[in-house]
């Protein structure tokens, strides 16, 4: 069975965030792509602890750099780049099976130079919010479950809804 979504973490920095996202992917069947350099070692115990015993159920691909990821041509659908610079909100997007959800590093987000040609999406927040953005693993979970909400009546929907 192919993954319903591809989750792409571009140069993630914080092991527990990546571990939580890995657990999300194992629970939902999403394919996790990690774009190096990472801010930690993949064997980091905090990364493994956050994923608990789900690592063996995870579909994970590591890519040496952004260009290697692009050269792999492994995303059959649309790439949605989640950024505070996005003009469209999550609620304005139509997600399809095979799409990719791209997230940048926790401290700086996706570089402006990567955003051209991508569907740039933002998560709605208060205008006067005292913080820059949501936690990476929270933002990823919100996006995955919005896509799944849109597909809940699709006959091939991969999750149990009862």
Q: Can you list the domains of the chain with their CATH numbers?
A: 6-150 (3.40.1280.10)
What does pTM read for this prediction? 0.90
Question: Per-residue pLDDT tens for 69-126?
Answer: 999 999 999 999 999 889 899 999 999 989 999 999 999 999 999 999 899 999 998 8
User: In whole angstroms, how far apart are CA 72 and each of 2, 34, 95?
Assistant: 16, 13, 22
Q: Under a CB-based contact definition with an 8 Å cutoff, are residues 136 and 14 in contact?
A: yes
């Amino acid at each position: 069975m192919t993954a319903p979504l591809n989750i792409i973490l571009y140069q993630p920095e914080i092991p527990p965030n990546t571990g939580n996202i890995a657990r999300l992917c194992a629970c939902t069947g999403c394919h996790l792509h990690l774009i190096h350099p990472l801010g930690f070692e993949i064997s980091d115990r905090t990364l493994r602890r956050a994923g608990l015993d789900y690592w063996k159920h995870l579909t994970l691909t590591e890519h040496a750099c952004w260009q290697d990821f692009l050269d792999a041509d492994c995303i059959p659908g649309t790439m949605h780049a989640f950024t505070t610079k996005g003009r469209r909100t999550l609620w304005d997007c139509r997600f399809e099976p095979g799409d990719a959800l791209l997230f940048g590093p926790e401290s700086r987000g996706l570089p402006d130079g990567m955003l051209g040609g991508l569907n740039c999406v933002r998560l709605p927040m208060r205008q006067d919010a005292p913080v820059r953005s949501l936690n990476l693993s929270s933002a990823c979970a919100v996006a995955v479950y919005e896509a799944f909400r849109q597909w809940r009546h699709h006959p091939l929907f991969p999750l149990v809804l009862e």
